[in-house]
Structure formats: C-alpha cells, structure tokens
Structure 1
Amino acid sequence: MPLPDYRGNALAVDWAEELAARIADALGEYPLCPDWWPQEEAPRIPGNQAARMSERRRDLLAALSEPGNGFKVVAYALTTVNHVPTNTLGRVRAYAAHKGWRVHSESLWDGCGMTHPLERTEWQRAERLVAGGFVHGILTLDQSAVSSDNGEYEEVLNRLESRPAFIAHVPPEWRPSVSPTLHSLEDRDV
C-alpha cells in the first residue's frame, strides 16, 4: 500500500511546521547536553570481552615475578563425562613444559560439565593450591574449562588477582614440538 502524499495538503504542512516549532521551543529550554549528563564518560558499550579477558590474564601473569626455576602450575580440565581427560591434560602439561613451568604432581579435572566453578570439587582444590601458595597459577586448555559465562570467569580472575596468582590457557594455535603419545580409544577424551 503506497504512503499518502501530504505535500499538497496545506493543513498537514501547517501541522508539521507547528510541531517542529514546538519541539524547537521545548529543546531551547533544555540544553542538548544538560549539566547532569556525564559528558566525560563515554557510554558503556560491551567491547570484545574475549580480548578484555585475555588482557586481564596477561596482566595477572605480568604482575608476578617468575622464580628462577619457573612458575609452578596445576593442570586442570573440565569434561561433560566422568572420564579422565588424558589427552587434554597431556596437552596442558606439554604446554607448561614448553613455557618452562613446573607442573604440580597431580592434575585435576571435573567431569560435571558447565557448572559454576566453585561448585566443582577439583576446581576448588585448584584454587586452594593457589591460596596455599603451593602453585603460582592454574593452567587449562581454554577458558571454557573454567566457565563460558564471562561473569563467572571474571570472578575467578578477581580471586586470583587478590592472591596474587594467574590463570593461563593453551593457545589454540600452539603445537607441541614432539607429537604427543597416542592413547588407546579407552584413554581418548570424549
């Protein structure tokens, strides 16, 4: 259905001009940016949260002085099935070796899927190792091993920052210099 053409309708033109005049008068009473409007603060538009989280992780690591024998980390993995994630933990441990970091003798993992980190038994153990000073940080395959919820992940970063400690993830493009040992089908991650 075509829109009506009011250009020839004097009544509509008069009404539009009167409305425009009223709006101009009303705006004249109020500045375009009133004093109460925070002009110096830009509106908060969510930026690239992944980049922001990555920067926070780098800042946590940079704030620590690496000991002469390297940082000590605990390897952690999260799965959706209650099966030891051998390949994932192997990759995490290989990355730690590549970085020159020492790995805690016991790797930790939870098989409960995406629950809040503090509801996971082994994640709690990882944070206790950090809090107790037994390790400098937690190393996982990626952020999803901690939480896919940015709010929960930021809570973890805040807790680690208060200790001080760090969290790191294996970069997706990283490849070990030596091929990892292949495991039987029973040992493969699901």
Structure 2
Amino acid sequence: MNIRKHLMATARLVLPTTGLSLICGGAYINSIQSDQMQMLKEVFTYLLIILGFILLVVGVLWSVGHGVKGVLVKWSGGRIRHNDVHVFTVDRASFPPSYEESQVGNPIPVIMQWPGSAPPVYSESSFEICTEDFSHEEPPTYQQAILQNQAAPQTASLPTNSSTEPF
C-alpha cells in the first residue's frame, strides 16, 4: 500500500510536467522551417500539443482533487469520531461581575462633562491653563472679510530684493 501511494504521488507530479513538455515540444517542432513532409509535421505537432494539453489538465485536476479529498476526509472524519460537543468554561471569581450581576441595582455612571461649552485651548505644557473663551465672538460678515483683505498690504506678495517694478 505504501508503494502505491508513492507511485500515485509521483504520477500526480509527472503528468502535468509531461503535458507541459509535450506542449513545448510541439510548439518547437511547429516553429522549425522545413519543406520536407510539411503535412506529416503539422499533424504530429498538433497531436503533441493536444496530448500535452490533455495530460496537463488531467494532472492538475487530479492533484487538486486529491488535495480537496484529503481535506474533506480530515474534516468529516474528525466530526464522525467526536460526536460530543465540548464546551470549555472558566470558573469566574466575583470580580469582574457577570452581566446579570452588574445590571442589578447599579445605576448607570454619570459621564463627566466639561463645564464650558468647549474643551480648553491646547497648550504646549500641561501646566498652562488657557482661560480664553472664543465661543462668544461672532465671525466677520462677508463684506467685512473682503474689506479686511483689501486693506491688507499688497506689497507682501512681491519679492523683497526685486529690482523690477510690479505690473
């Protein structure tokens, strides 16, 4: 039985390799340019390619089928042997409490909220506390923003060491 397994495994490896070799050999013979027995050469070439393709497909399908069969046998064989379902549990101590215990008589904790309308302003060190509150300021209107942009100095966009005049 052991020899048969080895022979089958070897055949599963040799079939696709032989098929690919026959396909390559048929393509090589087809590429050779000769005027002698052109019809016989074409028939032999196409027979090699077809036979190689058949061996390649059979070898690949056989290998894949054997692999799937092995997985299915392991999966189904394991389930047939062990019909019992084993559930592993852990004995819990009193802490942390179970869900049911945590729902009895314990009010929902109140989430601490920030007293202001916004969180504090970021500071580089955590020791600084910024007391600025910008939430009361209204944003400028569109007209005010345009007037502020027009009032800004326009020479800031020009290069400083330029000998040419602005356009």
TM over 0.5: no
TM-score range, shorter chain: under 0.3
Give the structure with the higher percent strand: 1
**TM score, norm. by length of structure 2:** 0.23
Larger relative contact order (CA 8 Å, sep ≥ 6): 1
**TM score, norm. by length of structure 1:** 0.21
Give the structure with the higher percent helix: 2
